[in-house]
Amino acid sequence: MIGIVDYSVGNIFSLRSSFAKLGYETILANDKKTLHECDRILLPGVGAFSDARKKLYESGAEEALLSEIKDGKPMLGICLGMQLLFDKSYEFGEYDGLSLVHGSVKPISDVIPSDFKIPHIGWNALDFCENPLFKYIKKGDFVYFVHSFYGTECEKNTIATTEYGATLTAAVQNENVYGVQFHPEKSGDVGLSILRAFCEMKG
């Protein structure tokens, strides 16, 4: 069973549909009991960092999530869900993250050429190191991005990058905690292959 953290932020329908295609059951959860009963946890997210961080705390999901991660359960953050894993975000202010991955979240406008469109929307190739999350795909496979901010100062935890006028962090890992900046649920067979690999991880 895949527990999708439910804190009113995220593209839940597409995610559940993707896991259903792979033959995995999902459940929406924000409490310790339900998340404890799940084999793996997914942290979705779209929108503003500060709003998502506040909702994650107020829903009670943050405490439950951190408890399960501490016990070694595999967890995957997607898009804003990945950004929440970092120490800090500088999205329209300065906000504390979950500090599960060392580094910070900053505007891509800091590093890409001025003639590149923001947000970065579209398909880009992945470059990655050997990692269980990518065991069913190959370097250069394309995935779908929608973002204006990116994870940085996280070199030791970076497991994949992409090029968009600059080298941008595409995926991170810290032990049992994974994060992807792109949307696997919108990335066709490549995205499904990444979700499949995550579903096969052991806690």
Q: Is 38 known to be catalytic? A: no
Instruction: Look up residue 28 and give its two tokens.
Output: 């929406």
Of 102, 91, 121, nearest in space to 179 by CA:
102
Q: Pick the catalytic residue from 62, 68, 79, 154.
A: 79
Of the candidates 62, 68, 91, 185, the residue annotated as catalytic is 185
Indicate if 79 belongs to the active site.
yes
Q: Report how far Cα 179 is from the mean position of its chain's Cα atoms.
A: 4
For residue 70, how many C-alpha atoms fall within 13 Å in the half-sphere facing its CB? 9
Which letter does DSSP use for residue 126 in this model?
Answer: -
Active-site position among 91, 147, 154, 183: 183
Other CB atoms within a 10 A radius of the CB of residue 57 amount to: 13
Annotation marks residue 185 as catalytic: yes
Residues classed as catalytic: 79, 183, 185
